[in-house]
Structure 1
Amino acid sequence: MSRKPAHTADSLLDAAATLAATDGPAAVTMSAVAAAVRAPSGSVYYRFPDRSALLAALWLRTLDRFQSGFLAALTLDPPQQAAIQAAHHVTDWSLHHPTDAAVLLAGPESFGSAQWTDEARAAAANRQDHLNAAMRNLAARLGYDDRTDHERLALLIIELPYAAVRRCARNPAASLPEAAQAVDQIVRAAMNPTVP
C-alpha cells in the first residue's frame, strides 16, 4: 500500500499564501514553500508541476474563497440589501482573512498570470465572467439599465471597499474596522437610507 503524502495541496497553498502576504508574490518559490512546511522540494512538485502552476492554484483558490461569499450576497433580497452586504463582504472577509486578502490585493499579474497555462487562464476568466453576470443581475434588480449606473454600482460595492482594504494594508495606522464602518455608511446612504 502506498504511503499517503505528508502535505496536501491546501497545506502547501497555505504556506505559499503566507509567503506572499509576508514577503510578496516573488517570495513564493517551490523551494521556499518546501522550506516553510519543512518538506523536500519533491513534496511540492508532487502536487504542482512547476512554480507557475503553484501560483495559479494559489490565485484561483483565493478567488474562490472570496467570491463564494460575495456572490451569495449579491442574490439577497431586497436588492439594496444585496448591494450593502456585498460591499460589507469585501471589508469583513479581508478583516477575517488577512493573508488571503493580501494575495487578492497583489493581483493576478503579480502571480505570473501571463505564464499560466491556457486552462488556468480560462478558469480565472470564467470566474470573472460569473462575477460580471451576477453584477449585471443585481443591477437589473435595482433598475439600473445603463452603463453609467452599472459602473456606479461596481465602484460602490467593489472598488470603494477594495480601496479601503488596500489603504489599510498600506498604512499601519489605519483601522480596517473603522474603514469598513465608513464604507458601510456610504453604501447604505447611496442605496437607501431607510434600509436597516
Structure 2
Amino acid sequence: MRPARFKDVDIIEAALAVAAREGPAGASIAKIAAQADAPTGSIYHRFRSRDVLLGEVWLKAVTDFQNAYIKLLDGSDVERAALDAALFVPRYVRENTAEARLMLLHRREDFLVPGWPVKMLEQAEMLGRQMQAAQQHFCRKLTGRDDRKTMRILCYAMVEAPMGAVRPYLEKGGTPPPLVDSLVEATFHAAMALTGGDA
C-alpha cells in the first residue's frame, strides 16, 4: 500500500499557520489546503468539517501548552516553580508564536462551536478541569491554603498578568522582548506579597 502523501499532523500544522495569521474566521479549507499544498479532498477525507479541523488545532495547542505549564509546577523548589510558571508564558510565546496567537488573541468560543463531536467537547472540558485542579493543588503546596482570594492572586500572578504582558506584542505581529520577563517577574513578586509572603 502506498503511504499517504498527507498526514493529519501536516494538515493540522497548515491549519494552525492559517488560523494564527488570519484568525479562525479567515481559515477556510481552501486557504488551509493551499498552505499544506494539498487538495481539499485530502482534508475532508481526514476531517469531516472545517470546524472539526480548527477544533483539533485549538485542542492540540492548548494541550501542549497546558501539559508543559503543569509540568513546571511539579518542581521540588515550590517558590521557584511558581516563578518559572509565570516566566514560561513569554518564553513559550517566543518559541511557539503561532500557537500563542491562536490561544491569546482569540476566544475559546471562536473554536468551540456546536459542530464539535462529543469526544472533542469532553476533551475541552477535561482540559479546563485539569488546569483548575493543578492550580488549586499548587496553591496549597505554595501557600498552605486554597481559599478564593489566594487562588485569585495566584492565578493573576502566574497566568493572567504574564498573558496580558505578551498580548500587545502578539497583536502587532511580534514577540515580547526580554524586558517583558523582568516585568512579569516584578509583577509576580508584587502580587504574591498580597498572599502574606513574597514567593
Q: Same fold (TM over 0.5)?
A: yes
Corresponding residue of 1:39: 38
Corresponding residue of 1:146: 147
Asked whether the 8 Å contact 1:139–1:145 carries over to 2, the reply is yes
Output aligned runs, 1:109-120, within 5 Å.
109-120=109-120
Q: Distance in 1 between matches of 2:58 and 2:175?
A: 26
Q: Distance in 2 between matches of 1:161 and 1:13?
A: 27
Q: Distance in 2 between matches of 1:60 and 1:173?
A: 23
Listed one character per residue, the Cα deviations across residues 134-163 of structure 1 (whole Å, up to 9, x for unaligned) are 101111112233111011101110101111
Q: Distance in 2 between matches of 1:103 and 1:173?
A: 14
Give aligned pairs, total. Answer: 194
Listed one character per residue, the Cα deviations across residues 115-139 of structure 1 (whole Å, up to 9, x for unaligned) are 3222111101101111111101111
* Structure 2 gap ranges (5+): none
SS in 1 for 2:153: helix
Q: Mean Cα displacement is larger for which, 116-125 or 106-115?
A: 106-115
Corresponding residue of 1:72: 71
Q: Distance in 2 between matches of 1:176 and 1:128?
A: 30
- Cα distance 1:167–1:114, how it changes in 2: closer, same or farther (>3 A)? farther
Corresponding residue of 2:136: 136
SS in 1 for 2:178: helix
How far 1:107 sits from its partner (Å)?
Answer: 2.5
Listed one character per residue, the Cα deviations across residues 98-117 of structure 1 (whole Å, up to 9, x for unaligned) are 01101111122122434322
Asked whether the 8 Å contact 2:94–2:176 carries over to 1, the reply is no
Listed one character per residue, the Cα deviations across residues 38-69 of structure 1 (whole Å, up to 9, x for unaligned) are 21111111221111210110011101121121
RMSD: 2.1
SS in 2 for 1:115: coil
SS in 2 for 1:75: coil
Q: Mean Cα displacement is larger for which, 27-36 or 158-167?
A: 27-36
* TM-score (norm: length of structure 1): 0.90
Corresponding residue of 1:17: 16
Q: Distance in 2 between matches of 1:33 and 1:173?
A: 22
* Structure 1 gap ranges (5+): none
Listed one character per residue, the Cα deviations across residues 66-109 of structure 1 (whole Å, up to 9, x for unaligned) are 11210101111222112111111111101111011011111221
- Cα distance 1:116–1:17, how it changes in 2: closer, same or farther (>3 A)? same
Output aligned runs, 1:80-91, within 5 Å.
80-91=79-90
Q: How high is the sequence identity, in percent, across the aligned residues?
A: 28
Q: Distance in 2 between matches of 1:80 and 1:113?
A: 39
